[in-house]
Structure 1
Amino acid sequence: MKVVKTLKHPITSHHRMLDATLHVYQEALSFLITVIQEQFITLESLSTQAVVTAVERLTHHTRQNPNPLYAEFDQRFYKFPSYFRRSAIAEAFGIVKSHHSRFELWQAERQHALQEGKRFSRKPPTLQAQHKAFPCLYKGNMFIRTSDRTANIKVFHQGDWVWLPITFKGQDLFKRNVWSMKECSPTLVRTGKRYALHIAYKGDVKLTQTEHSKQRVCAVDLGLTNSAVCSMMDASGTVLARTFINQAKEKDRMRQITGKLKQAQRQSGIGAKPNFWRRMNGLQTHIIHDTAHQILAFAQKYHADVIVMEYLGKMRLPKGTWGAKRFRAKLQFWAKRRIQTKVTEMAHFLGMRVSMVNPANTSALAFDGSGFVQRNTKRDVAVFTTGKMYHADLNASYNIGARYVLRNIQKSTSEKRWLSLEAKDPSLAKRTYWTLASLIRVQQALRLQT
């Protein structure tokens, strides 16, 4: 499969001189969005490449095109580089096309509501002309690398487009595993008052082709008390290793900040609290990245072929969850989805597969097959019907890994043979009742049949 990894190279030599370049590009993008919106009926059916050519005829003066319809573009953006112009046209066309798609969906929802006699108060989407877009510096025309940490880029300075030598921080490409990949053209990105070059690296990665009977599975449960609990198991159900991932300090700070935020909202209403939100977003991003890196490190250490997680659909909070508690639960749910996305991207880059299983009853059922469990007040300990006490998230990770292996066994087993297994173990009839004990019983039955 094709993978893309982007590395950030902060620019250390210039910052304020680059503001004009970004401003001119964003203004040109706004102008082109207006042009494409006015001519969208004729441009809608064209490909992106054909749209670029058509919009250039409408805006750019040449010898073969002396009187473009929107001649003020060349007047406002004098000597605008051709590669910048074509990049801006393609981006503007994507923005306008996305707006029309959203508008059509809004119309369909409105018509459906009116047909059923329901009230529809949702406002239609509006096209935004101003966007914080960042230009791509095409190699050879806008970007010329002179060494590992220096380059010449074309910028808008004092009313003209000139070449500017810059220096930027390098990266250890061997450490990032991109030294054998193709380097793409960089993007000039501003974060706060600083600029950086974001360089993408493209390559092909072959995912593992190990047989299901020989796979090593890294089962991950994104728990309530811990950020993640991982267990490594083989296809027979043998647990080879386990680990607990948690960021106690960061979560304690997050708890304090969310409490202060709710207190401030009670005093002054729900409004902009930029300082609180900035700190919360920073802590959450750190927790997400640290958790994903630790999961991948654990999977690499024990040579996992696949990482298995729960499919997290629409969040359902328990009844009686209000105020700060509900707010923290939502933050935790968003973090889980972002952790899954991060782990999937990193795993595919390393050649590992990622799979999702049904989350129903993974935490509610005991891994030893003794039935449903009871949780303590902190929700971190599960009490089995036999009186055994076990870590709730670790118990769930066993069931997650077992469900993935059982699903592969069911797919590779004939229907007649699987029905005979269900006759001996009725709990196999429903996937939501599969546990680690179910996997062990199936493996024993299959060995006896052979």
Structure 2
Amino acid sequence: MEQTKTIKNKILSHGSTALEPTLLIYRDALGFIIEVIEKEYSLLEGLRTKKMTTAVEKFIHRTKNNPTPKYDFTSNFYKFPSYLRRSAISRGFSIVKSYRANLRNWEVEKSQILGEGKVLKKKPPVLSVEHDAFPVLYKGNMFNRLSTDQAEVKVYKNNDWAWETITFNDKNLKNRRIMDWKENNPTLVKVGKKYFINFSYTKEIKLNKTKVIDQTIVSVDLGLTNSAVCSAMYSDGTVIGRKFINQPIEKDRMNTLLGKLKKAQRNSGFIEAPNYWKKINGLKNHIKVNTASEVIKFAETYNADIIVFEYLGKMRVPKGIFGAKKLRHKLHHWCKLGIQSKVEEMAHYRQMRIRRINPKYTSKLAFDGSGKVKRNDKKDLATFKSGKVYHADLSASYNIGARYFIREIIKPFSEKKRLLLEAKVPSLAARTRLTLASLISLHQALRTNGAKPA
């Protein structure tokens, strides 16, 4: 599979307005092209990218063989670089195509709702010609590398396109593993009042194909108290490592900011408070990235082949329970899917695979198979039926890893063989009741029968 990473490098040699004309004229050109593509979409629909680009250029670009195009792009955008024009055409076509698809979906939804005698409140999608798009600087035509931290770029300056030497901070390029990655065309990006040159890198990565019996996995239980609790495990249920990941300082700061935001909203009614949200979102992003990095470090320590998560979609809090409002608020700021997405991205760079299992009862069942547990008020400790007290999230991480291995081990078996195993290990019949004890019992049953996992 092909993986892509983007490295952002701040431009040091130019201020907040030096490269602004380049962005503005590119966005104006993109808006012009979007309007053209929308008007001529019936002729362009179904064409491949190369043929579509050629067809649009015939509509807008004046040449010796095409002296009178239907739309006068050349006069409005004099000496506009050819590669930049083709980039804008490709981007504009994708925008119009997306708009058309959304419009079709809206029309289908409208017909269904009106057919049921209901009123459609949803407004139809609108095609916007104004987009905060950033130009791709194609090598040779708009970008020439001079050194590790200097390059020549073609920019719009004094009503003309000219080459300009820029200096950028290459610290990020030095600190990332990009020696064997292919460098693609960079992009000129503006964030706030600062400009960046973003380099994207691609690499063909082959994910590992280790047999289940030889796999080492890291099972991850994401939570609200601890950001993540990880366990490294062999296929026979042997736990070889554990790790608790948390960011108490960042979470405390975020809770303080959320409290201040609520107070401001109570005192003055509705308030957007962009400065509060900027800090809150920054802390949430830090928690997400730090948690993902620690999970990957732990997986690398034990040479893991697979990282296992739970399927965590939209979680609803039952009504009427004590502290439901507070719990709902915590769930709203829980970056569970963001952490999984970041871990998946980083794991694929290292040839690791990602798997997910059903989350039902992973925390409610004791890993030793003794049944449901009782949680304390803080929900961090669980008391087993035997009286044993254990960390609830750690027990859940054992069950997560066990469920993955059981699923993969019995997957290639015939129905007859599965029934024989279920007779010896009754807990296999209910997938939502699988625990670490079920995995250990399964291996004992396989040894008794003389069978081996695939």
TM-score, normalisation: structure 1: 0.96
Aligned pairs for 1:45-60 (under 5 A) are 45-60=46-61
C-alpha contact (below 8 Å) 2:208/2:353 kept by paired residues: yes
Letter in 2 for 1:237: G
Please tell me whether residue 31 in structure 1 is matched to residue 32 in structure 2: yes
Aligned to 1:381: 381
How far residue 322 of structure 1 moved from its aligned partner, in angstroms, is 5.8
Whether 2:330 is the aligned partner of 1:328: answer yes
Are residues 91 and 221 of structure 1, via their aligned partners in 2, closer, same or farther at CA, if it must alter by over 3 Å?
Answer: same
What's the CA shift for 1:319? 2.3
Task: Give the letter for the 1:48 counterpart.
Answer: T
Q: State the partner residue of 1:231.
A: 231
Instruction: Name the % identity.
Output: 52
- CA distance in 2 between counterparts of 1:269 and 1:66 reads 61
Alignment of 1:201-212 (within 5 A): 201-212=201-212
What residue in structure 2 maps to residue 264 of structure 1? 264
> Could you say which residue in structure 2 is the equivalent of 1:342?
342
Give yes or no for contact 2:317–2:327 (8 Å, CA) kept in 1: no
- Structure 1 window deviating more from structure 2 (314-323 vs 179-188): it is 314-323
Is 2:8–2:172's contact at 8 Å kept on the other side of the alignment? no
Check the 8 A contact 1:183/1:200 in 2, yes or no. yes
- Aligned partner letter, 2:357: V
Return the letter of the residue paired with 2:151.
Answer: A
Equivalence map 1:279-428=2 (5 Å): 279-320=279-320, 325-332=327-334, 335-428=335-428
Distance between the aligned counterparts of 2:274 and 2:173, measured in 1? 36
In the other structure, the counterpart of 2:195 is: 195
Q: Distance in 2 between matches of 1:374 and 1:95?
A: 53
Query: In the alignment, which residue of structure 1 is the partner of 2:252?
Result: 252
Q: Give 5+ residue unaligned stretches, structure 1.
A: none
1:165 partner amino acid: T
Provide the C-alpha distance between the structure 2 equivalents of 1:445 and 1:116, rounded to a whole number of angstroms.
56
Query: How do residues 83-98 of structure 1 correspond to structure 2 at under 5 angstroms?
Result: 83-98=83-98
Report the equivalent of 2:185. 185
Q: CA RMSD in A?
A: 1.4
Q: What is the distance in 1 between the residues matched to 2:129 and 2:63?
A: 26
Q: Which moved more, 1:258-267 or 1:179-188?
A: 258-267
Change (3 A) 1:407 1:122: same
Letter in 2 for 1:398: Y
Tell me if structure 1 keeps the 8 A contact 2:402–2:435: yes
1:173-216 Cα offsets, whole Å, 9 max, x none, are 57522111111010111111111111111111121111100100
**What is the 5 A alignment of 1:4-153?**
4-15=4-15, 16-71=17-72, 73-153=73-153
Aligned-partner SS, 1:401: helix
By how many angstroms is 1:376 displaced? 1.7
Equivalenced residue count is 447
Contact 2:9 2:172 survives alignment (8 Å): no
Deviations 1:108-153 (Å, cap 9, x if unpaired)? 1222222233332111111121111111000011000011111100
* SS of the residue 2:242 aligns to: strand
Letter in 1 for 2:348: H
Alpha-carbon distance between aligned partners in 2 of 1:323 and 1:189, rounded to the nearest angstrom? 40
Counterpart Cα distance in 1 of 2:414 and 2:171: 52
Conserved 8 A contact 2:29-2:77: yes
Report the CA distance between 1:266 and its aligned residue: 2.6
Q: Distance in 2 between matches of 1:37 and 1:121?
A: 26
Q: Give 1:414 deviation, angstroms.
A: 2.6
Q: CA contact under 8 A between 2:264 and 2:271: conserved in structure 1?
A: no
Where does the alignment leave 5 or more consecutive residues of structure 2 unmatched?
Answer: none
TM-score calculated relative to the size of structure 2: 0.95
Residues 362-417 of structure 1 show CA distances to partners (whole Å, capped at 9, x for unaligned) of 11111111111122221111122222211111111111101110011111323212
- Residue deviations 1:143-180, cap 9 Å, x none? 00011111100000111100001111114657522111
Mapped partners of 2:144, 2:229: distance in 1: 46
The residue identity in structure 2 corresponding to 1:339 is I
| Residue type of the alignment partner of 1:18 | L
